[in-house]
């Protein structure tokens, strides 16, 4: 099985594309995730929509808006609220993880491999076959 992150952006206008992917593929959505981290001394998060693997080709996409959404003390960002509302509409829960920031990895692909490892260990995506 091939599991790959597909980065849409940092979560500004591309967040709306992420929400559309979830809504139009609601039968394929397996998880909606929020990766929280500390980047440049600021709390930020990535939002992720994990789809079920394709029937042919055994490809599992993980769509991500990476580390561009601030986590504010005492109030939720409107973008996080929209993500949670979309999850509720398609009858999914948002699961949060605290992860390392992508900036500590020399390459973005190594960061994505790190996240795939976390998701496999926690049984959110199938193991390597």
pLDDT digit string (tens) for 84-123?
999 999 999 999 999 999 999 999 999 999 999 999 999 9
Q: Burial letters for 84-106: b for 16+ Cβ neighbours within 10 Å, e otherwise?
A: bebbeeeebebbebebebbeeee
Which positions ≥6 away from 128 have C-beta within 8 Å? 1, 120
Is 127 a domain residue? no
Q: Which domain holds residue 63?
A: 2-121
Is 25 a domain residue? yes
Average pLDDT over residues 18-41: 97
Report the pLDDT value the prediction gives residue 12, as an integer from 0 to 100: 87
Is 128 a domain residue? no
Total count of domains within the chain: 1
pLDDT at 9 over 90: yes
pTM for the full predicted model: 0.95
| CATH number of the structural domain spanning residue 110 | 3.40.1530
pLDDT digit string (tens) for 39-68?
989 999 999 999 999 988 889 999 999 999
pLDDT at 18 over 80: yes
CB 37 within 8 A of CB 45: yes
Is 129 a domain residue? no
């Amino acid at each position: 099985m091939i599991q790959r992150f597909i980065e849409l952006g940092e979560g500004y206008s591309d967040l709306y594309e992420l929400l559309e992917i979830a809504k139009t593929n609601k039968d394929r959505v397996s998880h909606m995730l929020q990766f929280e981290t500390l980047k440049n001394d600021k709390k930020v998060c990535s939002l992720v929509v994990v789809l079920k693997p394709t029937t042919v080709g055994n490809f599992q996409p993980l769509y991500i808006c990476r580390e561009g959404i601030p986590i504010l003390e005492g109030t939720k960002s409107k973008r996080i609220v929209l993500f949670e509302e979309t999850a509720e509409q398609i009858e999914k829960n948002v699961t949060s993880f605290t992860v390392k920031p992508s900036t500590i990895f020399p390459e973005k692909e190594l960061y994505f491999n790190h996240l795939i490892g976390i998701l496999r260990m926690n049984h959110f995506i199938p193991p390597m076959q």
